[in-house]
Amino acid sequence: MKMEDGANKIMRQSEQLALFSSMQGGLTRAYLTLEHAQAHQQLGTWMQQAGLETWQDSVGNQWGRKVSANPTLATLIIGSHSDTVSNAGKYDGNLGVLLGIEALHALADVELPFHVDVVAFADEEGTRFNTTLIGSSSVAGCFQPDWLKVKDKQDVTMAEALESFGLQANLVGSDARNAQETLAYLEVHIEQGPVLEERDLAVGVVTGIAGAKRYQFTLKGMAGHAGTVPIDMRQDALCGAAEMILAIESYAIQHDVVTTVGKCDVLPGAVNVIPGEATFTLDIRSLKQHILESSTVELLAQLKKIAQRRNLTVQSEQLYQAQAVPCDPKLQKLWAEVVATETGTPAFYLASGAGHDAMVMTQITDIGMLFVRCEKGISHHPREQVLQDDVGVALDCLIGMINKMASEYTK
């Protein structure tokens, strides 16, 4: 019954936390804003009520520590982010923070061989500044000093925003953690996809975070009269793009990648003119970095061939890339054992297509993630929803995981 109470409390706290918002009737909470300060003050209070020692770090993350009287191991960090996208749901990030606090509350009387830190990362989404994962980057020692010059929409630099928040821009990252003092990083997060719901499962063990590359392609052919140029004499850029987009889809079906063409523009864009130019984007992801690399090379070669056959030119520009990050095999196994114990069914494994703070924390330590089912996979949207029973399962799993690590890592 005790755990049921915990889930209930987390659901209530999620509602309360969502009130710290810059928008009326919805939730938007960006980095270094009044709402950030208010939400972290509230989290700090809840951390103290859970018996934790609290502090704010150099970049504005909120921490709480369950102190071990006799730590024989490095510190375990549990965390997620407390910032949101614009018009967000209540559970993305925030649920993981609340679960961490409540798990440590439940373990208040248990003596562990390590300190356990729960952290609310102040920026993961990058809603205010044009850069993401600021909070965890500072902790993992990879905060880029250049970011201090980045401006928000009001022309306020990150350095200025840090100072008006009461922090010192020149000290950001000075309290970064290192590998020696960190045992592991655990993160519980909503799935943000439909797989767990489809399988009727409350939670799933994350195998890793997919790597991603993004490209923009520009195809050039020849514009012309829609009535006078014979069909076999055309250099129709849009027809070329269409063939390429379908080739990308069938490539993804046959290989271990997911691909999305989310944007396509046509020039000149008139009903009676043959498209002379077409641009489209490609987002390609895979859990395995080597597959992402080889697939990208193969796909780009295929697109080039299509262009040649159609007498078009194609130019590609890489817009973004992030490395694939595997979750630690030992932590996956421990999560799986805990999930099997708590749910009575074998653990289900799944990859994360979305980026998370764990991706950055892997720079200093092993990462282990657990996903919680969310309704219809809807996320980054006010309709984001989780079941209280699932939150209860996730809480039991996290408590079980901390206990298990205490015994497994002292062996």
Q: Which residues bind Zn ion (CB under 5 A)?
A: 92-93
* Nearer of residues 190 and 201 to Zn ion, judged by Cβ: 190
Q: How far is the CB of 102 from Zn ion (least distance, A)?
A: 18
Distance of CA 109 to the CA centre of its chain: 33
* Nearer of residues 128 and 220 to Zn ion, judged by Cβ: 128
**Angstrom distances, CA of residue 237 to CA of 169, 241, 277, 312:** 49, 6, 5, 7
Neighbouring C-alpha atoms within 13 Å toward the C-beta of 360:
24
Q: How far is the CB of 372 from Zn ion (least distance, A)?
A: 12
* Nearer of residues 61 and 279 to Zn ion, judged by Cβ: 61
Q: Length of the chain in residues, anyone?
A: 411
* Nearer of residues 96 and 173 to Zn ion, judged by Cβ: 96
Q: How far is the CB of 81 from Zn ion (least distance, A)?
A: 6
* Nearer of residues 93 and 208 to Zn ion, judged by Cβ: 93
Choose among 350, 382, 358: nearest CA to 191. Answer: 350
Rounded to 10 deg, the angle between the 329-343 and 388-408 helix axes is: 130
Q: Where are the alpha helices (DSSP H) in 24-93?
A: 34-49
Q: How far is the CB of 357 from Zn ion (least distance, A)?
A: 8
Q: How far is the CB of 286 from Zn ion (least distance, A)?
A: 20
Query: What tokens does 382 get?
Result: 């006010």
As to burial, measured by CB atoms within 10 angstroms (0-12 exposed, 13-18 middle, 19+ buried), residue 265 is middle
Q: How far is the CB of 201 from Zn ion (least distance, A)?
A: 20
* Nearer of residues 93 and 240 to Zn ion, judged by Cβ: 93
| Paired residues of 278 in beta bridges | 219, 266
* Nearer of residues 375 and 408 to Zn ion, judged by Cβ: 375
Question: 18 CB contacts (<8 Å, ≥6 apart)?
Answer: 27, 90, 94
Which residue type sits at 356? H
* Nearer of residues 120 and 205 to Zn ion, judged by Cβ: 120
**Angstrom distances, CA of residue 275 to CA of 265, 269, 271, 312:** 10, 7, 9, 12
Q: How far is the CB of 41 from Zn ion (least distance, A)?
A: 21
CB 165 within 8 A of CB 48: no
Q: How far is the CB of 92 from Zn ion (least distance, A)?
A: 4
| Paired residues of 322 in beta bridges | 212
* Separation of alpha carbons 335 and 228, rounded Å: 66
Tell me which DSSP letter residue 20 carries. S
Q: How far is the CB of 285 from Zn ion (least distance, A)?
A: 16
> What three-state secondary structure class fits 14?
helix
> What three-state secondary structure class fits 185?
strand
